[in-house]
Amino acid sequence: MRCWSGCDPVTLQLAIILPTLNERDNLAPLVARIESTLGANSWEAIIVDDNSDDGTADEARTLAQSDPRIRVIQRIGRRGLASAAIEGMCATAAPYVALMDADHQHDPALLTKMLEEVKSGETDIAVASRFADGASADGLASAQRERASTLANWLARKITGVELSDPMSGYFLLETRRVRDLAPKLSGIGFKILLDILATSSPAPRVKEFPLQFAKRRCGQSKLDRAVIFEFLVGLYERLFGKVIPTRFALFGTVGAVGVVVHFAIFSAAFYGAMVAFAVAQAIATFVAMSFNFWLNNWLTYRDQRLKGAGAILKGWLGFCATCAVGAFANVAVATLLEARGVHAVLAVGAGIIIGSVWNYALSSRFVWGRF
């Protein structure tokens, strides 16, 4: 039982999970909009903040001091919308849970109808769709974002087998018990937790869509950037192959492979095109390839721990070059030892590359981006 501001005790029915990153000024107005829809009782809002640098978590705690319906989870050293959603959903005692953005692009007015539909037992998951009849996606940042979202939705339908107009929606409602049961199987990678839930559920859940007028952000910046489609593909990889080869290591290795191509391209341009000395050409190619690998890893592989600011980037780049130097030494040492003991040269080289890559990944994860 629950009571707020002297009201009659009521049973907690719904938890609204609000993953946040630099959403300080959006919180109070959003809580007011939720209350105008759901009334004073029977709900709580759980703000899961990824250690925003604008004081979002402090603002949430300020709201919670005078409003016990507000709860705060401040995450240190980890980021990601999907994992934040899972943590928030598993932190409530409410029998029903909804996920929505804190930027006011998702209209809280839909919560009542969505909750009634799931409580009726006719539907397992109620989804607010930007592309259903009567909906609008005008709030998407650009035509390019809208096209990318349409493509991602098409791929998601093929993978999940669920016919939805918007399986990539970030606004949905379901029984909390379903999330808790699925949580050990969810990848928690990426930003579209609904896709993960749909792909993991067996049998396929019954889903009903509600047309959403997708609004423009009230203030702040979007948590998504140009890597959004890449992260969608990362989520698919995690779902299909993540148990065989860890997703982050696969990304690190892929970036390394691209770096090899960059290395040879720069070397060829310097040695054959500019006719510089071999050692100079090799040094230039190595410098450019390492710098390229650092930039791409920072942008994609470690997107959730991305280094920002000139000082952090310079320090990270120097650390990355140092770890790569250690990895290169391990690569050469292992390959040389194996070849000297009679292992075929190609196999010895391959083993050296693997050892060097694992070493670089381990050191970079720990000392450059600060995570294991």
pLDDT in tens, 87-100: 999 999 999 999 99
Q: Please state the domain extents for the chain.
A: 14-241, 247-368
Which positions ≥6 away from 178 have C-beta within 8 Å?
124, 125, 197, 201, 205
Q: Which of 301, 15, 68, 40 is nearest to 175 (CA)?
A: 15
Residue 94 CA from chain centroid, whole number: 25
Contact predicate 137/214, CB 8 Å: yes
Highest mean pLDDT, choosing among 126-140, 167-181, 202-216: 167-181
pLDDT at 40 over 80: yes
Which of these ranges, 29-43, 77-91, 230-244, has the smallest mean pLDDT?
Answer: 230-244
pLDDT at 240: 66
Cα torsion angle, 127, 80, 300, 335, sign: negative
Architecture of domain 14-241: Alpha-Beta Complex (3.90)
Contact predicate 326/355, CB 8 Å: no
**Span 9-20, mean pLDDT?**
90
pLDDT at 154: 66
**């390019």: which residue's tokens?**
144
Q: Label residue 2 by pLDDT band (50, 70, 90).
A: very low
pLDDT at 3: 52
pLDDT at 308: 83
pLDDT at 1 over 50: no
Q: Label residue 135 by pLDDT band (50, 70, 90).
A: confident
Highest mean pLDDT, choosing among 10-14, 96-100, 140-144, 340-344: 96-100
pLDDT at 142 over 70: no
pLDDT at 136 over 90: no
Tell me the percentage of the chain whose pLDDT exceeds 70: 81
Give the pair of three-digit tokens for residue 218.
């009230």
Q: Which of 137, 153, 140 is nearest to 213 (CA)?
A: 137
Cα torsion angle, 82, 87, 90, 93, sign: negative
pLDDT at 37 over 90: yes
pLDDT at 355 over 90: no
Contact predicate 211/132, CB 8 Å: yes
**């909009």: which residue's tokens?**
33
pLDDT at 140 over 80: no
Please report, as a single letter, which amino acid is at residue 44: E
pLDDT at 219: 61
What is the pTM for the complete model shown?
0.72
236 three-state secondary structure? helix
Instruction: Give the mean pLDDT of the chain.
Output: 83
pLDDT at 236: 65
